[in-house]
Amino acid sequence: MNEDYARIEKAIGYIRSNIGDQPSVERIAAHVGVSVYHFHRLFRRWAGISPKRYLSLLTVDQARQLLAGSRSVLDVSLELGLSSPSRLHEQFVSIEAVTPGEFRKRGQGIEIAYGVHAGPFGDTLIAQTRRGICFLAFTDQATLERELNRLRRLYPEALLRENPVAITATAQRLFDVGETRGEPFHLLVRGTNFQVNVWRGLLRIPRGEITSYQQLAQAVGRGDAVRAVANAVGANPVHYLIPCHRVLRANGDIGGFRAGIGLKRELLDWEADSA
């Protein structure tokens, strides 16, 4: 037992010393002299999480410290051995687009559970499949039916079931994104290739920071299509987790927001305070 503990201590030290290289599980297991299979079981027993998950949490934690020192996202990503800035944010939120075939089927064969949960910014409508969250919107009594209709238009052939219990766990940790606890959120989105590219660009905006529509358009390689990029931002089906609220107009004006400008200001203020 003491030998096992020594191996895990050695593995953790190795991960911390080589985080910039993002070492593979195979490499870590070889370093401590055990098989990958045995190392997985050993690490989970002693640390409570998988070695890959531990590396992810450690990466995020160090990234937050570096970003707090006013380092650029690109610099931090490269220093931590990540291939691009978007990889850093995928530690918090991962996004998957429906396939072209699934897009054409408009949700046929998909079961979607949805419910409304009271949160710090009012009611939040959340819908999810077995593959992840597919819709999120801030609502009130006046806008709930409008947002439900939007969900139905996105997935007209899907089987929608109201199931508040199913989304309770998701809702309870919704505003813990960016913390070093719990599993990251996985999103399943339905949109055109252009829209999904813009939404991936939104994920690259660090928490507590803002950008303009022009800067976002340039970042996704469409500097000539600012208006189209703005429309794609507005079509975001997963508010907050795909942070469309972090985009302002070039003149600094706060711009529009589906749930209202007041809520957009609240979100920006809250993130600035908690970043």
Amino acid of residue 45: R
User: Could you state, in order of their start, the residue ranges of all structural domains in the chain?
Assistant: 2-80, 92-275
Q: Hey, is 260 helix, strand or coil?
A: coil
Q: What is the pLDDT of residues 19-31, one digit of tens each?
A: 767 788 888 889 9
Specify the range with the lowest mean pLDDT, choosing from 128-132, 163-167, 182-186: 182-186
What's the distance, CA 109 to chain centroid? 25
Using a CB cutoff of 8 Å and minimum separation of 24, what contacts does 266-275 make? 266/121, 267/121, 267/240, 268/210, 270/120, 271/207, 271/208, 271/246, 272/208, 274/178, 274/207, 274/208, 275/68, 275/206, 275/207, 275/208, 275/209
Catalytic entry in 42, 98, 244, 247: 244
| pLDDT cut 70: percent of the chain above it | 80
pLDDT of residue 236: 94
pLDDT of residue 161: 95
Fold matches, 2-80 and 92-275: yes
Most confident of 6-15, 77-86, 151-160, 264-273: 151-160
pLDDT of residue 155: 94
What's the pLDDT band for 75 if we cut at 50, 70, 90?
A: low
- Domain 92-275 has what CATH class? mainly alpha
Higher pLDDT among residues 64 and 146, named by residue: 146
244 belongs to the catalytic site: yes
What mean pLDDT is predicted for residues 68-75? 54
Q: How many CB atoms are closer than 10 A to CB 245?
A: 26
Per DSSP, helices labelled H in 110-162 are 144-154
Amino acid of residue 146: R
pLDDT at 257 over 60: yes
What's the pLDDT band for 172 if we cut at 50, 70, 90?
A: confident
Q: pTM for the complete prediction?
A: 0.65
Q: Is 238 left (phi over 0), alpha (psi -120 to 50) or beta?
A: beta
Q: Which of 170, 156, 153, 157 is nearest to 114 (CA)?
A: 170
pLDDT at 177 over 50: no
CATH H superfamily, domain 2-80: Homeodomain-like (1.10.10.60)
pLDDT of residue 129: 93
Specify the range with the lowest mean pLDDT, choosing from 34-43, 61-70, 205-214, 251-260: 61-70
Exposed/middle/buried for residue 48 (C-beta within 10 Å: 0-12, 13-18, 19+): exposed
Task: Determine contact, residues 81/20, Cβ cutoff 8 Å.
Answer: yes
pLDDT of residue 151: 95
Structure tokens at 155: 């997935």
**All residues at 6 or more sequence positions from 4 whose CB lies less than 8 Å from its CB, including other chains:** 42, 45, 46
